[in-house]
Amino acid sequence: MMNLLSRIQDWGDHHHPKWLDYLRIVLGITLIWKGIAFAINLDAFTVLMENAGLGTAVSISLIAHLIIALHIIGGLLITLGTHTRLFCLLIIPILVVAVVYVNLPQQIFRPYSEFWLSCLVLAGLICFLIEGNGVLSIETVKKSED
């Protein structure tokens, strides 16, 4: 399993066009934006979790704060191009739940549906889990200075 992961990482490091770096930056900014929007609209999340049967306030609060922190911190680090694969791996389960559990049961064809944005962000996270940071990243700058 580790051999497969290291081969995927090596392939991603050697086959990374520069335009993907701009897409990574947009993905990171989108995650930051969604994390801030989530923090501002925290009451809607609380209602959703209470309706789902996840009862205790402590668990709802922990999940909400974890989602906000991962989106904002992960988005910032993905934008800068450091620890991209790690934060993609940490945020993917949140987006899978958002796509399947939160957005899919709603009317996905209604105007301004979050379903399509969640799907695009999920696809971007999977892409950068494989591709990694790229040329325009803090880690590449650090490596070239050494």
Q: How far apart are CA 75 and CA 24, in angstroms?
A: 10
Q: How far apart are CA 136 and CA 103, in angstroms?
A: 33
- Give CA angle at 84 (81, 87), nearest 5°: 135
How buried is residue 34: exposed, middle or buried, by Cβ count under 10 Å (0-12/13-18/19+)?
buried
Place of tokens 């789902």: 52
Note if the pTM is more than 0.85. no
Q: Where is average pLDDT lowest: 20-24, 32-36, 139-143?
A: 139-143
Q: What is the DSSP string of 8-43?
A: HHHHHHHS--HHHHHHHHHHHHHHHHHHHHHHHTHH
Q: What is the pLDDT of residues 91-144, one digit of tens each?
A: 999 999 888 876 665 555 565 567 788 889 999 999 999 888 887 888 776 666
Q: How far apart are CA 118 and CA 34, in angstroms?
A: 10
